[in-house]
Amino acid sequence: MSAISQTRHGARGNAPPRRPPPAPPLLAQGVIWAGAAGVLALWWTGTASVVGPADWLTGAGRITGLLAGYACAVLVALMARVPLLDHNLGTDRLACWHAMGGRYTISLVLTHTLLIVWGYALTSRSDVLHETTTLVLDYPDMLKATAGFVLLVGTGFVSARAARRRMSYETWHYLHFATYLAVFLAFGHQLANGADFVGRKPAQLGWYALYTTVAALLVWYRFVVPVRRALRHRLRVADVRPEAPGVVSVHLTGERLTELKARPGQFFRWRFLAPGLWWTANPYSLSAPPLPHHLRITVKEAGGHSAALARLRPGTRVWAEGPYGGFTEARRRSAKVLLLAGGVGITPLRALFETLPGEVTLIYRARRPEDLALRAELDAIAAARGTAVHYFVDEPARHSAPLTARALKSLIPDLAGHDVYLCGPPGMTAAARRALRGAGIPRHRIHHESFEF
């Protein structure tokens, strides 16, 4: 295995003590499941008996409806960008939970609809089509609920991997807002028609409290806080500098930026108030440690939004939502760290490379030597802190290396004792995960955050 170049020095600095695996994910999952159990208790305490096929179908429809209503609130809360959740669980994990929960929610909604219509049809001794028409047209708030149902299922369809690959991030992002409207439209029918709520004031108040709390968190953290911070910190573009083919760094200046409490490894959602860019906010990581009056991102051209950043003019106003993500030093559990970057995935790792204490090794993979962005900075950091950096490229072949457990262990013999921070394109990160697991690194010490959200 031949690196295109490498810098080796004896590492220095005090290594952090070993810490136990983090508990927040288990705690958050426990809270979610406890809430689901509480929702099921509504049905249990409100159901005297279940007799006959109609009761069984209707009862199952009530249960799936309650769980679907609860799941909608949880899904919105997961993506409300609450700092307590985001910084402790990580945006990537929250997005994965949201995507998985979305699939379950769509399944629950479809099952609820089918079972309720079928159960009611048996009770009234009518056919399913007639019962569907009666429910939609004659029951309170059911027209709105039907519109919400269509929107929710449609949003689920465009969020499917096959459909999402065919549209831009910006288009998908705005279509996803239909979820909020769908939840709003469907809310009324739950209290107006749900047998578990009609005549049960405590249950109604609890449901209102759940949805009101989630709505307040959403409005506050996704709308109010970004506007307040934009007005207070007054971010502007200071300069745009090329770093590699199709890669630029955007330097930004602002006021009182320490109040943002941004940490190396985190990202913001950036809204540049320039023609063609102001209407969307895209996620980009900080590519250098934040300073009191200066932030920097490094972006590779991968679409219309990222390509337009190279043409930004100094003085352009910027709104930055964040900081987000848990891809920080706080995840570290071992005395030694490997940073493994692919392509523009170097951006958050470059900031961590400068700031992580103790023994840190960087491996940076790219397609060609000229694609190694920020290389001069990385060499300077390696020399200054006394650590190691290794570069590998696919072309020319003599400087390439397979991303396997054996190759990594030949480079870092004690790899199994490391924490690993991993960032790069999906194919590279998938291969790296397999290699790292094969090298004996536990899952909880492989830290990865993507932008698949």
We report the CATH number of the domain holding residue 281 as 2.40.30.10
Beta strand 247-253 with 235-244: parallel, antiparallel or unpaired?
antiparallel
Same domain for 11 and 36, yes or no, is no
Q: Is 228 among the domain residues?
A: no
Residues 82 and 186 in one domain: yes
Q: Mean of the pLDDT values across residues 169-193?
A: 83
Q: Looking at the domain assignment, is residue 89 inside a domain?
A: yes
Residues facing 268 on adjacent strands:
284
Residue 4 has pLDDT above 80, yes or no: no
* CATH number, position 418: 3.40.50.80
Domain boundary residue, one of 196, 223, 250? 223
In a shared domain, residues 338 and 308: no
Residues 29 and 125 both lie in one domain: yes
Q: What is the pLDDT of residue 318?
A: 95
250 and 299 in a single domain? The answer is yes
Tell me the pLDDT tens digit for each residue of 72-88.
Answer: 999 999 989 999 898 88
Question: Is residue 72 domain-resident?
Answer: yes
Question: Please, what is the average pLDDT of the chain?
Answer: 88
- Domain check: are 73 and 177 in the same one? yes
Q: Are residues 437 and 408 in the same domain?
A: yes
In a shared domain, residues 259 and 392: no
Report the percentage of the chain scoring pLDDT > 70: 91
Judge if 87 and 219 occupy the same domain. yes
CA separation, residue 414 to residues 329, 410, 411, 440, 445 (Å)? 21, 9, 9, 10, 14
- Domain limits at 288? 234-324
252: which 2 tokens?
């930004």
* Residue-wise pLDDT tens digits, 275-298: 888 888 889 999 999 999 999 999
Asked whether residue 348 falls in the same domain as residue 386, the answer is: yes
Whether 173 is covered by a domain: the verdict is yes
The answer on 390 and 304 residing in a single domain is no
Does residue 184 sit within a domain? Answer: yes
One-letter amino acid for residue 19 of the chain = R
Q: Which of 223, 251, 278 is the last residue of a domain?
A: 223
> Quick check: 243 pLDDT over 90?
yes
Tally of domains within the chain: 3
Boundary of a domain, candidates 155, 188, 223: 223
Lowest-confidence region among 333-337, 360-364, 448-452? 448-452
Decide if 453 is inside a domain.
no
Q: Is the overall model pTM greater than 0.95, yes or no?
A: no
Same domain for 317 and 339, yes or no, is no
Work out the pLDDT band at 11, boundaries 50, 70, 90: very low
Instruction: Kindly report, residue by residue over 149-180, the tens digit of the pLDDT.
Output: 999 888 887 777 666 666 666 677 777 778 88
Task: Specify if 57 maps to a domain.
Answer: yes
